Amino acid sequence: MTEEHADTGELPGTLALALGECQLELPAETVDRLGQYCQLLWQWNQRLNLTRHTNYRTFVQRDVVDTLQLSRCLAEDDEILDVGSGGGVPGVILAILQPQWQISLAESVAKKARALETIVGQLDLPVPVHAERAEKLLEDLRFTALVSRAVGPLWKMLFWFQSHWASVGRLVVIKGPRWVEERAEARHRGLMHGIELRRLASYPMPGTESESVILELRPSRE
C-alpha cells in the first residue's frame, strides 16, 4: 500500500487507507475482494448480527490482522474448518487471502449460514458452508485443522471436541489477553489432561495496549 492516512480519529474512507494505517501490503486483487466482502457483510449486518466491525479501520485492525497472523500458522495442504464462522471471520478472509487452500465453514445458526452461503457465492469462493455444529460435522468428516475466533473460552472448546480428536489434527484459535485465565479454567475442569498447548504467535492488537495470540491445541504425543 502506498496510500497513507494520519490517525487523527477520522475514519479511513477506503480499505486501502485502512490497510496503510497498519502498514499492510496485499495484492490489489486481494484488496478488491476484501472490499467486496466488507460491503456484503455490512449489508447483511443490517438484518443479522454478524459483526461489530462496521468500518474499514476496525475491519483491518481486528479481522484482517488476526486472519493474517492465523494464516502464517497453517499449512498449504491443511484441510481447514472454521468453527462457528458467524460473519465469516476468519474463514472467509482466509479463503480470500489463500484461495488455493481447502477451507470449509461451520455455522449452526441457520440464518447466519444462509448469509454466509450467499456471501461466498457472490465472491465466487469455493468454500462449503455447513449449517450445523462442528461437533456434529466431525462425526462424518475429518479436518487437519479447526480454526476459530470468539466462539467460546478454551474449556468449552475442549469440552466440545474432546471425543472428536480422531477427526481433528489440531485446534488453532485466536485469543486475546485473557487466554492465560482461560487455560487455568480448562485445567481446573480437567480438560487439559492429555492436551498439548503451544503459543504459535503473539502480536499487538492495533490501536490498543493489549496482545493477541494464536494457540494450537492437540492431543499429547506421549
Can you list the positions of beta strands (E) in 72-123? 79-83, 102-106
User: In the structure grid, which three cell numbers stand for residue 176, read together?
Assistant: 486475546
Q: Which domain holds residue 99?
A: 65-219
**Cβ-proximal residues to 191 (8 Å cutoff; 6+ apart), any chain:** 154, 155, 158, 159, 162
Residue 102: CATH number of its domain? 3.40.50.150
Q: Give CA–CA dist 81/172, Å, rounded.
A: 10
Is 191 a member of any domain?
yes
Is 51 a member of any domain?
no
The confidence score (pLDDT) of residue 190 equals: 97
The confidence score (pLDDT) of residue 209 equals: 84
Yes or no: say if 57 and 14 are a contact pair by the CB < 8 Å rule.
no
Is 188 a member of any domain?
yes
Residuewise pLDDT in 10s, the chain (222 residues): 333 333 446 899 999 999 999 999 999 999 999 999 999 999 999 999 999 999 999 999 999 999 999 999 999 999 999 999 999 999 999 999 999 999 999 999 999 999 999 999 999 999 999 999 999 999 999 999 999 998 999 999 999 999 999 999 999 999 999 999 999 999 999 999 999 999 999 999 888 888 999 999 999 986
The confidence score (pLDDT) of residue 5 equals: 38
Yes or no: say if 76 and 100 are a contact pair by the CB < 8 Å rule.
yes
What element of type H or E holds 198? Answer: strand 195-204
CA distances from 80 to 99, 111, 135, 140, 151 (A): 12, 22, 14, 15, 16
The confidence score (pLDDT) of residue 206 equals: 87
The confidence score (pLDDT) of residue 8 equals: 46
Q: How many domains does the chain have?
A: 1
Yes or no: say if 144 and 182 are a contact pair by the CB < 8 Å rule.
no
